[in-house]
Chains A and B, each alone.
Chain A
Amino acid sequence: MATLFDLCSLIRSKNAGPFVLTFDLMFSSRENYERAKRSQPLTKHLLAQIYGQREEDITLVYHDHALAIKASIPRPIFQGELRDGDCYGGQQYVPLLQIEVA
C-alpha cells in the first residue's frame, strides 16, 4: 500500500480565480499514474466528504499527458473573505496526502 504523497512528485492546491479551489496531483512516473488511474483513490465522493461540497459541483479529471489528477471544487470560503485563512488556497491539499492507493 502506498499513499498519494508516495506516488506523486507534486501535490498542490491553488486558486482558480477567487471562487474555485483546485488541486493538482502530479505523479512521479507513468507507472505510478497508471496505478492511480486503475484504482481511483480520489473520487468526487471522497472530495465532497473532505471539503464539505456537493459531488455535482466537483470537477475531477485524470490527465494522461500530464500524468496528473486534477480536481476543482467551489472554494469553501471565497478568497479574501474575512474568514478566509489562506488567500492563495495553497495549503488546502493536506488532507489528500495520506490517501491510500491500492
Chain B
Amino acid sequence: MEIRVLAATGVLGAGFKVESLNRGIALAPTFIACDGGSTDSGPAYLGSGKPKLSREACARDLRLLLKARDTLRVPLIIGSCATSGRDVGVDWMAQLARETAGEERLHFKAALIKSDQSTAYLKRRLAEGRVRPLFPAPPISEQVIESSHIVGMMGTEPIQAALAAGADVVLAGRASDSALYAAIPLTLGADPGLSWHAAKTLECGAACAVVPAADCMFARIRDDHFDIEPLDLNARCTPQTIAAHTLYENANPFLLTEPSGVIDTERAEYHALSDRLVRVTGSRFREAAQYTVKLEGAQLVGYQTIVIGGIRDPYIIRALETLLPKAQAFFDTRIAELFPGQLTKNDYDINYRIYGRDAVMGPLEPMRASAAGYEVGVLITITAPTQDLANKIATFVSHVSAHLPIPEYQGIISSIAYPFSPPELPRGAVYRFSVNHVVVPDDPYEMFRTEFVEI
C-alpha cells in the first residue's frame, strides 16, 4: 500500500511556492489538503466570523489548489474555512471557489460541511451531562451557551462521508487539522497510527522543515512506515525537526487527542533516509472508549477604544504606581456623574498597560520591581457595552491621563505624549473565548450538516 499526501501549506492564504506545488502534482498525490483556520490569533475571528487572512491571499492559494485538483482528478479537502470555521466562513470560501471556477472554467462537486452549534442542541446536551470541561475551562451554563458563538470541531467521519457521496472538493467548517489529512488514508485502510501521525506532521505544511516555511509537504504512507519531505528542493527536514513538530502548539507531544482517540507517538522512531527525507515508524492510535467533539466558543465582551502614548519624564514614570489608581478612582466618579443609571462599575473596564515595565508579563514579570527604563509606552484600553460609550469614556480618560499631577511640579503639566490626534482609537467589538469543553454526541455526524453543490 502507498498513499501519497500533498499538504499545500500551514494555513490557506499563507501561500506556498508554485514550484513546490508543481513538484507535488508530478508525484501523483492520492489527495490534496489544506487547513484554513486556528484559534491562535485570538477570539475575534470566531466572535465576528471574519477571516484573518485577506480575500486576495485565500483566493490565490485556492485557485492554484483547485487547478491542481482538476489536473489530477483527486479530492481537495479544505478545513476550518476562513479562520474560525463558522458557517459564514464556509459560505465565504464556497463563494471564492465559485468565482475561481467561473474564471478558470472548472467543474466539480463540492461538499460544504457546517459546524455551527445551535443553542438548543448544546443546552440539551448540557442538561444531559454530556458537555464536559477540559482543563482548564471557564464555567459553562445555559447563559454562556446563549451568549456565545460556538462551533464543534469535526473528526474524519463527516469528511469521509462527504467523499463517499462523491464530493470532489470538501469545504469544511471547524475541523481537527489532522482529520483533514487522516480521513482518506483511514478510508483506504492505512494503519491508523501512521495515518494520524503523518496527518499531525503535515497539518502545518512545511513548518517542520529547515528553514520552516509556508510551503508544501509531501508524505507517503505505507504498510509499516511513512516517509515525509518538503517539496521545496532547497528545504530539508531531519528526524529532529519531524519529531519536534509534535511539540508545536500541543500540550503533550506524545499524546495528541482527536475526537475518536489519541495519537501516541511515544514509541515512534525517526530515521533520516537523506538530508531531506525522514521515515517514521512505530506510531500508534488508541481508540477512545467514547467519541467526543471539542467545542470552541467566543462571547462578546464589549466594545473597545484605545489610547496610545508615551512618558519620558523620570519623575512621572516613578509616580505612576500611585497616580494610576487615583486616576481610576476619578474615572469611576466621573462615569457615575455623566452616565447615571446607565453604567455600573461592572459594565466598563479601564486598563493601563505600561510598556517598559510589566505590559507583557503582568503580575508574573520577574523584573517588575526594578527601575523602569528612561521611557515607557502607555496603552490605555477602555471597554464598554457600546462603541459610543467606549468612545465617550475614552475622551476624558485620555484628557485626564495627559494631566496627571505630581508634587515635583506646580501648575498643569502634559504627562503623556500622544502621537495621534485624536488620541482615541475605536477598536470595535471585543470577544473572549468562553468554552473549553467537549460534547459526547450519539455519533460523529449529528453535530455537522453537509450540503452538496455542483460548481
Taking beta carbons and an 8 Å cutoff, which residues of A are in contact with B?
14-20, 22, 24, 26, 50-52, 57, 59, 61, 63, 65-68, 70, 72, 74-83, 85-88, 91-92, 94-95
Contacts and interface: CB of A to CB of B under 8 A. Distances in A.
Contacts of A87: 41-42
A82 B362 CA distance: 12
B222 interface: no
Interface of B: 39-44, 134-138, 239-240, 243-244, 246-254, 268-270, 301, 349, 351, 353, 359-364, 366, 381, 383, 430-433, 436
A92 B361 contact: yes
Contacts of A14: 248-249
A44 to B, nearest CB: 14
Contact of B40 (A15, A24, A83, A91): A15
A86 B443 CA distance: 38
A80 B42 contact: yes
B360 A82 contact: no
Contacts of A63: 243-244, 246-247, 253-254
Contacts of B381: 82
A36 to B, nearest CB: 15
Contacts, number: 119
Contacts of A50: 364, 366
Given A65-B239, A91-B360, A18 B252 contact: no
6 contacts: A22-B247, A63-B243, A66-B243, A79-B43, A85-B353, A85-B359
Contacts of A67: 240, 244
A80 B433 contact: yes
A24 B247 contact: yes
Nearest to A26: B244
B364 A17 contact: no
| Pairs of residues from A and B, 10 with the lowest C-beta to C-beta distance, nearest first | A65-B243, A66-B244, A72-B251, A18-B433, A66-B243, A80-B43, A74-B136, A16-B251, A80-B42, A87-B42
A74 B453 CA distance: 43
A17 B135 CA distance: 11
A17 B41 CA distance: 10
A66 B247 contact: yes
A47 B246 CA distance: 21
Contacts of B136: 19-20, 57, 74-75
Given A82-B381, A85-B361, A24 B244 contact: yes
Given A16-B251, A75-B136, 7 more contacts: A20-B136, A61-B254, A63-B253, A65-B243, A82-B351, A83-B362, A95-B366
A91 B359 CA distance: 11
A65 to B, nearest CB: 4
Nearest to B134: A19
B252 A61 contact: yes
Contact of A16 (B44, B250, B254): B250
Given A52-B364, A85-B360, A59 B268 contact: no
A78 B364 contact: no
Contacts of A92: 361, 364
Contacts of A80: 42-44, 431-433
A67 B270 CA distance: 12
Contacts of B433: 18-19, 78-80
A74 B364 CA distance: 14
Given A51-B364, A66-B253, A85-B360, A17 B39 contact: yes
A21 B134 CA distance: 14
A65 B137 CA distance: 32
A33 B243 CA distance: 15
A22 B249 contact: yes
A31 B237 CA distance: 21
B252 A59 contact: yes
B195 to A, nearest CB: 20
